[in-house]
Chain A
Amino acid sequence: DQQVKQNSPSLSVQEGRISILNCDYTNSMFDYFLWYKKYPAEGPTFLISISSIKDKNEDGRFTVFLNKSAKHLSLHIVPSQPGDSAVYFCAAGPTLGQAGTALIFGKGTTLSVSS
């Protein structure tokens, strides 16, 4: 059973608009969430994270929102740029986990930003 779900395999957005990528999780033990970006032929790159004690975390054009009651998080990219075109992975783990050991990843959403 998938514990972290990214239900949209792909998303297309125009340059300058907002991109919203969604992620749902089922395990109540998860309380730390991350987003990674992956370009072809490269490994995933850490983008932004959020702890369950927060409901929002911002870093430049990237904002992650967490709705614990709905077990849902989303990544907003504003404004979207062509260079943002990549696969985005949502990952979740327990706060007391060890780096890399307890992270569960979603299957990814491919974002395409057209100019």
Chain B
Amino acid sequence: KAGVTQTPRYLIKTRGQQVTLSCSPISGHRSVSWYQQTPGQGLQFLFEYFSETQRNKGNFPGRFSGRQFSNSRSEMNVSTLELGDSALYLCASSPGGLGGSAYNEQFFGPGTRLTVL
């Protein structure tokens, strides 16, 4: 089975611009979650999409948004970029089940490294 793919792998933008990142989950997985990883904060949950609906959201400003398509692929958009948005953005896919063991079935992609100048 192919793993989680994220495109692009690297991105350089300037302040004020917007960016769209893409994530293709493992075939058959219906849930896609997005995380931001920074050296100071570790991994922080952004939001999760399941069957094209946002199922949960972390504590990030409205500049961060996402969507999921009918084939479970997901995109994340950041508008009006700030220097502090420079980070590794990770997406993770899972079958979408509930319960503790469902966490075990979450697989991460390699991430998109975003640099904001």
- Asked if A and B are interacting partners, one says yes
The interface of chain A, by Cβ under 8 A from chain B, is 31-32, 34, 36, 41-46, 49, 51, 89, 91, 93, 95-108
Q: Are A89 and B33 in contact (CB under 8 A)?
A: no
**CB closest residue in chain A, given B3:** A43
Q: Which secondary structure dominates where chain A touches chain B?
A: loop
Complex CA distance for A46 and B44, rounded to whole angstroms = 16
| A36 CB → nearest B CB, Å | 8
**CB closest residue in chain A, given B113:** A41
Complex CA distance for A43 and B45, rounded to whole angstroms = 14
* Mask: chain B, 89-117; 1 = CB below 8 Å from A; 0 = not: 01010111111111111111111000000
| B96 CB → nearest A CB, Å | 7
Residues of A within 8 A of B98 (CB): 96-99
Residues of A within 8 A of B110 (CB): 41-43
> In the complex, given contacts A96-B99, A96-B100, A97-B100, what are 10 additional A-B residue pairs having Cβ atoms less than 8 angstroms apart?
A43-B4, A43-B92, A43-B108, A44-B90, A98-B96, A99-B95, A99-B105, A100-B103, A106-B42, A107-B40
A100 and B43 contact, Cβ closer than 8 Å, known pairs A32-B103, A95-B100: no
| A75 CB → nearest B CB, Å | 15
**CB closest residue in chain A, given B97:** A99
Q: Offer 21 A-B interface pairs, CB within 8 angstroms, sorted by A.
A: A31-B100, A32-B103, A43-B4, A43-B108, A44-B90, A44-B108, A49-B104, A51-B100, A89-B42, A91-B103, A95-B99, A97-B100, A98-B31, A98-B48, A98-B98, A99-B97, A99-B103, A99-B105, A100-B48, A100-B94, A105-B35
Complex CA distance for A89 and B37, rounded to whole angstroms = 12
The interface of chain B, by Cβ under 8 A from chain A, is 4, 31, 33, 35, 40-45, 48, 50, 55-56, 90, 92, 94-111
Task: Pick from B35, B44, B102: contact of A98, CB below 8 A.
Answer: B102
Complex CA distance for A105 and B41, rounded to whole angstroms = 9
Residues of B within 8 A of A98 (CB): 31, 48, 50, 55-56, 96, 98, 102
